[in-house]
Structure 1
Amino acid sequence: MNLPSSRIPWLDNIRVFACILVIASHIVGQFFVSPPFTPDNETFAWSSFYTVLVRVSIPLFFMISGALLLPVRDTTGQFLKKTLHPRPVPLPAVVCVLHCFSVEL
């Protein structure tokens, strides 16, 4: 039994590309941690160049999420109630626990 798919293939491809860029950003970040960390080093220059190229990954994820939210059929109040309803309780609870234990973020 084949069910109709509601997936958007080109959006899935962009998501895969963004995942690869996130992995690449973590790999490039290792060059900044390992010595020698001097601006005149050739490794530093190349890792800086690649870092600039892979920084688009997080904005891509935000844009994909926004694109998937576009066909909203609810009113603004219904949408906000549905998306924000489960979140107000955990945040103050976490803040209170961190404050009680004096944990600095």
Structure 2
Amino acid sequence: MLPKLPAKQPRIVWLDVLRLCAIFMVICIHCSDPFNVSPEARSNPDFNLWGGIYGSFLRPCVPLFVMITGILLLPVKMSFEDFY
């Protein structure tokens, strides 16, 4: 027997915007990785510096996804067994 699902909640617009920003940050992180990984870019200090700076500013996207998921999951109104 399947657990009873909670009623559909209204969308939270600011979370959708935050998720869109996090998605864009993931795309930008993947685009800046070649500046840190490729041997040609590592030999050029400017590429390596700016690739590291961009990568550092964009890394919070992964914890952002985790926090958004936590916000949308809480409060849990079902039993522990049904939740997992």
TM-score, length-scaled by structure 1 = 0.65
| 1:1-105 paired onto structure 2 within 5 Å | 6-36=10-40, 37-38=42-43, 41-74=45-78, 78=79, 80-84=80-84
List alignment gaps of at least 5 residues for structure 2: 1-7
Q: Give the % identical residues.
A: 37
List alignment gaps of at least 5 residues for structure 1: 85-105
Q: Count residues with an aligned counterpart.
A: 76
Which of the pair has more CA radius of gyration? Answer: 1
Letter of the 1:47 partner, please give it. Answer: G
Query: How far does residue 35 in structure 1 lie from its aligned partner after superposition?
Result: 2.6
Task: Give deviations 1:8-63, integer Å, cap 9, x for gaps.
Answer: 0000000000000000110011112323214x610000000001000000000000
In the aligned structure 1, how far is the partner of 2:36 from the partner of 2:72? Answer: 35
Query: How far does residue 5 in structure 1 lie from its aligned partner after superposition?
Result: 6.7
Letter of the 1:42 partner, please give it. Answer: D
Task: Pick 1 or 2: higher relative contact order, CA cutoff 8 A, min separation 6.
Answer: 2
